[in-house]
Homo-oligomer: A and B are copies of this chain.
């Protein structure tokens, strides 16, 4: 017997990957219920060769549903998750709505699967940048004890959803025909869209999400708080700078990590080469290093550029890239479902 599975936000960038991965991994879906906004209702999604009509999410829509995987935003999640969970649906939510709730486990299955004990009804999927960073850091943390991280990110526009992708595509087309002028741009006439506010094509924007009173962005705060919760390290020092780059899919992080014990780059390479969900790409003199285009469409997080820091035998630098829509969101959610329903 398979499961009755709802996919909320089925037409978005992450929703599309959710459907694709449910198929790829032959997840035991008996009945698929795709939900979208009022705008999407009436359209359909393709799943296992069938066209499945999209419904609008209404209060009683999840009755009898075994599993809901939601790729919708925090306000949609807040509108239905608690009630659905009370009515017996296991709700895996990729929004930020429940991540820091004490009763909600925040889970990367390769990193903290123990948080899934006790048959939780609501499980949060961490922020995409946090997932990519911790997939690289957790195997090293288990060996040497992570003390602090300085993180700078290179985040793809699809992290802001389909709208982010179209904004990059449109601006690229507009600016590509004026390529020679990019060295002396007329700032007044540069294209700016609703998603990023400023030009993202041929630019980088060091500001993702709202700014809080100490000058950090929401994205940076998430990275700090979620890393602490997932690793169960209350005092972990995380200094993050989150930056949007003109990449369609694939988040990258430059990491400078300090540990409690000495650890060499060789040891790190060995640990990461054996880590589940990680692919070591670390032979830079032969052109082998991670890049987001290499990570896009793949399950593994790619890790490379592993180096020590002279004079600090407890510190490593590394670079990691992961598909923000897959391991950074949809795949991680489905892996959680696989853990929870494996014994079912």
A-side residues, CB < 8 A to B, are 17, 150, 152, 154, 158, 165, 169, 172-173, 176, 179, 182-185, 187, 190, 197-199, 202-207, 210-211, 214-217, 237, 239, 241, 243, 245-250, 252, 254, 256, 265, 284-285, 287, 289-294, 296-297, 304-312, 315, 317, 319, 323, 325
Contact = CB atoms under 8 A, between A and B. Distances in A.
A305 B206 contact: yes
Contact of A183 (B158, B187, B239, B290): B158
A185 B296 contact: yes
B176 A291 contact: no
Contacts of A211: 284-285
Contact of A248 (B17, B182, B247, B315): B182
A239 B256 contact: yes
A245 B291 contact: no
A215 B307 contact: yes
A158 B214 CA distance: 35
Sort A-B residue pairs by CB-CB distance and give the 10 closest, nearest first. A184-B297, A152-B152, A182-B248, A152-B254, A215-B307, A211-B285, A183-B249, A203-B293, A241-B254, A206-B319
A323 B187 CA distance: 14
A164 to B, nearest CB: 12
Tallying the copies of this chain within the complex gives: 2
Contact of A256 (B150, B190, B217, B290): B150
A284 B211 CA distance: 7
A276 B26 CA distance: 62
Contacts of A249: 182-183
19 contacts: A152-B254, A154-B154, A184-B296, A197-B287, A202-B246, A202-B248, A203-B293, A204-B291, A206-B252, A215-B284, A215-B306, A215-B307, A216-B307, A237-B309, A237-B312, A241-B317, A245-B246, A246-B247, A254-B254
Nearest to A319: B206
B293 A202 contact: yes
A214 B307 contact: yes
B247 A202 contact: yes
B241 A287 contact: no
Contacts of A172: 172, 176, 179
A248 B206 contact: no
A179 B95 CA distance: 26
